[in-house]
A and B are shown apart, each in its own frame.
Chain A
Amino acid sequence: MRDSPWNRTLDRRSFVVGLGCLGTGLRGPRVLLERGARTSEGAQRSLVVLQLSGGNDGLSTVVPYADDAYHAARPTLRLGVEDGLRLDDYRAFHSALERLHQRFQEGKLAVVEGVGYPHPNRSHFKSMEIWHTADPRGRAAGDGWIGRTCAAAFGADVEPHRLVHVGPNAPYSVHSSEHPAATFSVPEAYRWLQEGQELARIEAGEREAGAGSSLAFLRERMRDVRDSSASIRAAVARYRTPVEYPRGAFGESLRIAAALLAGEVGTRVVSLELGGFDTHNDQRNRHEACLRTLDEGLGAFLDDLERSEAGRAALVLVFSEFGRRVDENGSRGTDHGCAGPAFLAGASVLGGVYGEHPSLVDLGEGDLVHTTDFRSVYATAIEATFPVEHSTVLGARFPLLACAAALKRR
């Protein structure tokens, strides 16, 4: 894999990013204040990955308000600085991102610019697979990147709720043949009723069903369910917080995530999803509603995390599986494109803007050309959370966002 042209392009590009980070005097060079398996408080580190599904429009999230090319490309969708919350002389947050802006000003939120990958594939599904596997082959490459991270960090030590997705459908990123994710939306319903509980008595195992068969797969899931349901429900039922989460499924999923981390039931990665970002039309209203939901929910969640040791040991990564075109389409919306901002938040994060904003003039087939390889973001998240060398997961080395000092220390 290391020698594929895909990788070489990436390596070179990423290298340039690393230099750029040092050279342009952007806030840096460290995105992370500390790392290691445990925090200085002694809590186990954990990772929360939130996917903005449908392809978030980065230009309406971190708005390059000072760029004329932006206003030219977005005659109806453009946002002025008066609509936004200023980050610096070039960029501003969308006005819906009040709470995140507050965090940014407090130096607790890192914005990573221009995250993407080369030779972008505009198929919604293929692109999602690439994001989820961190591999140009998509699913053909095997497990998702989070699944592989767990395999690298925990090996054969399998715990059924170490990896949790809260929501109806787990993204492929958490797909793991060794560390399957516990997946549920409503923990109250996460249990067997009546005779289902007796399944423990039907211990199949005198002879294993053929490896790779659907029966073997089902038997493995059955074991996971038996082991994980009670402690997950207990952690959520016990959880009490003064933080008010917004109503709705997204707020609820964040509250559950906080409960699992605070409950210290062994959950080390929580995957979450917020949908609705596929704004091919009427983008202004739809996107604003999405960002408002994001801001209210994530703001509450980050407040909540600060209350506990376990919460302070969590790193939150927010990304979208692809971006949108620079030019708006004829329906006051935008079509699928590439590259956008990602966010990192948590007590271990040193806030600021990292990486360069992609050029709005020098485009690739009408799309932003990424400036930060998405695997640099993954690499940073991996090394910030687990004592794992990121190349064992990603197949090659990528510059960490903490361009130098802190991460080299280990």
Chain B
Amino acid sequence: MDRVRPSFALAVLLFLPASLAAQRAGKLAWDARTAEHLWNRAGFGAPPSEIERAVALGREAFVAELLAGPSEVEEPFYPRADRSELRERMRELTPEERKREVGRMRDDEEATLRDYLAWWVERMVRGEDPLLECMTLFWHGHFTSSMSDVKNAREMIAQNRLFRRHALGSFRELLHAIARDAAMLEYLDNDVNRRESPNENFARELMELFTLGEGNYSEQDVKEAARAFTGWRHEDGEFRVVRRAHDDGEKTVLGRTGRLDGDDVLELLLEQEACPRFLAGKLLFHFEGAEPEAERLERYARLLRANDYAIRPFLEALFLDPEFYRPEVLGTRITAPLDFLVGTTRRLGIDPPPRSLVFGAGVLGQKLFFPPNVKGWESGEAWITTASLMQRGNLAGFLLGEVSLRDFLDEETSGLEDSGPPAQAMAGEAGMEGGTGAGEDAALPRKRRSEGFGELRSLERLGWRPRFHLSERLRRAGVSGDEGVVDALAGMLLGGDLEPDTRRSLVRYLGEERAKAGVSGTDWLDDSNGSEPILRRLAHLILSLPEGQLD
């Protein structure tokens, strides 16, 4: 056995040997390990109770439950006054009033965006329809638009609703809808794509990133397709085709000639062999974290086409496919920031302010509504930089109540004692060197300029602390012994497994910490005052480990 599967509940442990044996025999066992895998990949992870429930339900029934949505989503938002109305009002104002009004509008945009993202992440955490939110996020990373270009919260939100509406439905319908979406029309400049002067931005990304993939079309196809989308605009969010801007002449795209319009081009793209292959490959990579083998990719591409691009049957086949649960996939995916933060939140059963998760995901490189570029977020190893790896540990510490947001704000030299004189001591030298002490002035405002500083401050004022009691949980689960404690905590907190060498190190760490604190005896968990701080530190350590970044 290569890996030790730590487990939280005893029942989980009993399932384990059977699971591995069955996998070796090529059959799929439905147990805590495989059920957790499905929860990880299709629902941001789950607490032990949910995993047990999924096991009890059985695989088919649980997959059916996951796919049953979309449930009626109640959105606590109402459409705001549209821009035409605002424009009217603006005309009647004095310059000062107008300035104030513009400032108010900007604040309102920011607040709307913040509220919406908090609501979205809260839905991920609550898990009422986990797969729906997973797929909404997938489409946000596929048909990207960014607030930094669109600069309109209403339009970005409308686009997100579109993703949610079609999340598990028809890719065909979603494709036609996204080509008419206001945020998309603006993001890829199609709103300025005119007959006299075509703008190729949308046509190019449509082929390269949305449907076919690079190498499956020519430069000429891009130029001609751009003409087909000329005149596709929106007015205050409502799609319309401006006839005089539309080029209805003859075009040749991907070998088809005619007076093609945008919808014709979309249908042509859907007809291409490359399209289902491109989409199937992207979905498989997203859910498995590994490139599919050629034969399997073809099988899934055919499945997409056979179902006229319906996503639900595709996912159903995938979640019932024993290959989806193969050992090379289980627990080997580097989690995306939201999988890490929402997953930790769900596994622990805590309730951090959703805004802190939105912010934290941004710190770790997944800023919702601000994808890095039109290609969306790059997953896998790209999530991990030296800084983001560190911040994952720090944010896990925040969720566990071990790290205060104040610590993020404190930029001073803690931890640098051995690295040289503290910053203040150097000020005199700067004065001598620069003659004016300008160096000192230049250094000070830096702290205030750091990105996201204001957001952190306002979260800090919320003063949130997690409510949970690890020693109590472990005691109730009948856990004992240092090895038992490490296994149980790792089982609860990790989406994947713990390597044997790491496990040994953690057991040693726990023993040393107990000795330091004078917490001992077989029933040391009973002494919550002594054991709880140690357990929390251990939990923080586990989530900061390399293994903590996998699911």
Contacts and interface: CB of A to CB of B under 8 A. Distances in A.
Contact of A233 (B416, B429, B438, B450): B416
A154 interface: no
A344 B439 CA distance: 27
Given A184-B386, A214-B334, A281 B192 contact: yes
Interface string B415-452: 11011111100110110011110111011011101110
Contact of A280 (B199, B373, B386, B412): B199
A351 B461 CA distance: 53
Interface residues of A, number: 76
A408 interface: no
B154 to A, nearest CB: 21
Interface in A166-221: 168-170, 180-186, 188-199, 201-207, 209, 213-215, 217-219, 221
Nearest to A224: B386
B384 A365 contact: no
Interface in B77-109: none
Interface string B186-222: 0001001110111111001000110000100001001
A195 B387 contact: no
A180 B416 CA distance: 23
Q: Which of A122, A184, A244, A331 has the most CB of B within 10 A?
A: A331
Contacts of A198: 509, 537, 541
Contacts of A214: 289, 332-334, 380-381, 550
B544 A189 contact: no
B113 interface: no
Contacts of B199: 280-281, 329-331, 333, 335
A202 B541 contact: yes
A188 B450 contact: yes
Interface in B531-551: 537, 540-541, 544-547, 549-550
Nearest to A210: B2
Which of B194, B416, B421, B445: most chain A CB closer than 10 A? B416
Contacts of B391: 189
Interface stretch (B63-71, B337-345, B499-507): B499-507
Contacts of B263: none
Contact of A190 (B373, B387, B509): B387
Contact of B208 (A123, A170, A209, A231): A123
B389 A218 contact: yes
Interface stretch (A25-33, A109-117, A247-255, A355-363): A247-255
B121 to A, nearest CB: 20
A149 interface: no
A56 to B, nearest CB: 16
B446 A244 contact: no
Interface stretch (A62-70, A92-100, A235-243): A235-243
A201 B429 contact: no
A242 B439 CA distance: 4
B442 to A, nearest CB: 5
B403 interface: yes
Given A198-B537, A215-B547, A122 B197 contact: no
A19 interface: no
A201 B509 contact: yes
A184 B385 contact: yes
A215 B506 contact: no
Nearest to B450: A186
B430 A240 contact: yes
A331 B192 contact: yes
A86 B362 CA distance: 43
Contacts of B449: 247-248, 252
Contacts of B381: 214, 217
A158 interface: no
Task: Give the contact-size bracket for chain B.
Answer: 35 or more
A245 interface: yes
B393 A199 contact: yes
A192 B386 contact: no
Contact of A229 (B334, B386, B436): B386
B119 to A, nearest CB: 25
Contact of A192 (B333, B393, B446, B504): B393
Interface string B448-473: 01110000000000000000000000
Contacts of A205: 501
A177 to B, nearest CB: 10
B420 A242 contact: no
B151 interface: no
A221 B505 contact: no
A372 B465 CA distance: 59
A205 B502 CA distance: 8
Interface in B499-531: 499-502, 504-506, 509
Of A191, A193, A221, A329, the most chain B CB neighbours within 10 A belong to A193
A235 to B, nearest CB: 9
B272 interface: no
A169 B415 contact: no
A222 interface: yes
A317 to B, nearest CB: 22
Interface in A329-364: 329-331, 333, 335-336
Given A240-B427, A244-B442, A169 B192 contact: no
B385 A123 contact: no
Given A186-B450, A195-B537, A330-B196, A225 B389 contact: yes
A331 B197 contact: yes
A217 B385 CA distance: 11
A125 interface: yes
A308 B436 CA distance: 18
B445 to A, nearest CB: 8
A194 B402 contact: yes
Nearest to B421: A238
B407 interface: yes
Given A195-B544, A202-B502, A189 B420 contact: no
Interface in A66-96: none
A192 B537 contact: no
A57 B501 CA distance: 53
B408 A197 contact: no
Contacts of B509: 198, 201-202
Given A126-B214, A199-B545, A233-B415, A240 B393 contact: no
Contact of A240 (B193, B372, B411, B433): B433
Given A198-B509, A335-B199, A170 B499 contact: no
B397 A195 contact: yes
Interface string B165-188: 000000000000000000000000
Given A183-B387, A184-B386, A209-B499, A234 B192 contact: no
B219 A365 contact: yes
Contacts of A237: 412-413, 416, 422-423
A180 B208 CA distance: 29
A190 B373 CA distance: 25
Interface string B294-313: 00000000000000000000
A228 interface: yes
Nearest to A207: B501
Interface of B: 189, 192-194, 196-201, 204, 208-209, 214, 219, 222, 289, 332-334, 365, 372-375, 380-382, 384-391, 393-394, 397, 402-403, 407-408, 411-413, 415-416, 418-423, 426-427, 429-430, 433-436, 438-440, 442-443, 445-447, 449-451, 499-502, 504-506, 509, 537, 540-541, 544-547, 549-550
- Pairs A-B, 10 closest by C-beta atoms: A330-B197, A242-B434, A240-B430, A188-B411, A218-B546, A234-B419, A184-B387, A331-B192, A183-B385, A240-B439
14 contacts: A122-B219, A181-B386, A183-B386, A184-B386, A185-B451, A189-B390, A194-B540, A202-B545, A204-B546, A213-B332, A330-B197, A331-B193, A331-B199, A333-B189
Interface of A: 122-126, 160, 165, 168-170, 180-186, 188-199, 201-207, 209, 213-215, 217-219, 221-222, 224-225, 228-231, 233-234, 237-245, 247-249, 252, 255, 280-281, 329-331, 333, 335-336, 365
